[in-house]
Amino acid sequence: MARLPLPHVTPELETPEFWTAKIDNPDSVLLTSENIDSLNRDIASNVYLVDVLLIGNKVSGGRIRKAIVGDFEHHKKRTRYGHNNYPLPESFYKEIERRMDLDSIPEKIDVSFGLTTRRTDIRSLPTSEIAMEKKNDYEFDYFQHSALGIGEPVALYHFSNDRAWAFVQASFTHGWVRTVDIGIGESKKDIKAYLRPSEKLVITGNIVHVYSDSTRTRFLGSLGMGSTVPLVRSTEEGYAVQFPFRDADGNLLMKEGFIHGSEDVSEGYVLYSPANVLRQAFKSLHQPYGWGGMFETKDCSRYVLDVFATFGIDFPRNSRSQLKAGQSIAAFDRDVSKKHKLESLHLARPGLTIIGFPGHVMIYLGQHNGRFYAIHNTWAYRKKRWFVQDTKHIGKVVVSDLTLGEGSKKGSLLERLTEIRHIGF
């Protein structure tokens, strides 16, 4: 286990106020809602993001079959270890192929649209079995695409032969979701009314709980940072909101829920300023890491996505795509000198800049005593000790300076850095 705070980090560096104090005009609002709409269109043009509401009522069955088979073949040709630490056998994949029911996919698919009614996983295959690259590596399940929170829109293309799983398109990926976690609407209008209400409540805390009424006797579900719900009305006690449900027949229902006034929420999106980004980022300090949203947690890219979602900024899901968002300050090959990278970091604006390399993304904090710092959700780092490489487990959101990992075979965060991106214009 890594000892916290990490090397070159003191407790004062683990507060947003420390970094905000270093910024000129930290509370100045940099983007209006119209600017953010333009930024979102720009991001969507450069990365894989899907507006589910723009998907047609009919899609090509051949295209969906190709996507399903592509994910299946990707895993089948690799050695994957299941929960019992044995390689997944041929019989496992034959059963998955039978379950996918590919022969029933028509030439033209009639698309249904729905909302997730529970937090759920989106999987590359219709199974709860895990897929590890090596034995005992239970924290990394390669069948896990991502996780979806409550109220996320999906287009339903196909079902497994027992209808326990639905193959869906979400905004940032496709995959298999448990059917019981989706409420299917009568039309896209039902989904649009929920996603684009006249007034909305934005979740700005890590977790906010929703109840059936102000007595808070019946728990309905939890919403994560960056989620939004239609705001019905504000009261002295809190907020009445619309909340999605699935009835016994799988249909989408909207009921009224209640969020207490003490919860960390905002009526409308948070104003986009450096100080507000840092405040949002530090709310998740020391929150646990989870690959692809496993264990109801976040990985590096989901953490960044959720922080910027509170401002209405639509990020893609994976780190590689996120590092194409906004405007490029600098991009490097791996072998570019540290000096050149540091010169480029002088141009970066704390809070408004993301940095990273293939497989990892961070929010830039700024400089202190000649060192450059970021806040990020990370699993581990490597440290050289004599003639061996120690792996120091972190597994949470931390502040670190960019020399972390220096001397290891992979190199420091700075040595690995390939992208510096300003999230704005």
pLDDT tens track for 3-55: 999 999 999 999 999 999 999 999 999 999 999 999 999 999 999 899 999 99
Query: Which residues, including other chains, have CB under 8 Å from residue 183's CB and lie 6 or more apart?
Result: 114, 115, 116, 117, 244, 245, 246, 247, 250, 251, 252, 253
Handedness of CA 290, 291, 295, 296 (dihedral sign): positive
Band of pLDDT at residue 386, cut at 50, 70 and 90: confident
The average pLDDT across 114-120 equals 97
pLDDT attached to residue 421 = 98
| pLDDT tens by residue, 183-226 | 999 989 989 999 999 999 999 999 999 999 999 999 999 999 99
| pLDDT tens by residue, 328-381 | 999 998 789 999 999 999 999 999 999 999 999 999 999 999 999 999 999 999
The CATH number of the structural domain formed by 52-191 is: 2.30.30.40
What are the distances in angstroms from CA 382 to CA 66, 389, 406? 39, 6, 8
pLDDT attached to residue 384 = 84
| pLDDT tens by residue, 283-320 | 999 999 999 999 889 999 999 999 999 999 999 999 99
Examine domains 52-191 and 197-267 and report if their fold is the same: yes
Q: Is the pLDDT of residue 388 over 90?
A: no
Per-chain mean pLDDT for the chain: 96
pLDDT attached to residue 334 = 77
% of the chain residues with pLDDT over 90: 96
**Residue count (the chain):** 425
% of the chain residues with pLDDT over 70: 100
Domain residue limits, the chain = 11-31+272-422, 52-191, 197-267
Long-range own/partner contacts, residues 379-385 (CB < 8 A, 24 or more apart): 379/139, 379/289, 379/291, 380/2, 381/2, 381/405, 381/408, 382/408, 382/409, 382/410, 383/407, 383/408, 384/408
Q: Which fold has domain 197-267?
A: SH3 type barrels. (2.30.30)
- Report whether CATH 3.90.1720.10 matches the domain 11-31+272-422: yes
Closest CA to 312 of 46, 39, 30, 20: 39
d(CA 382, CA 233): 51
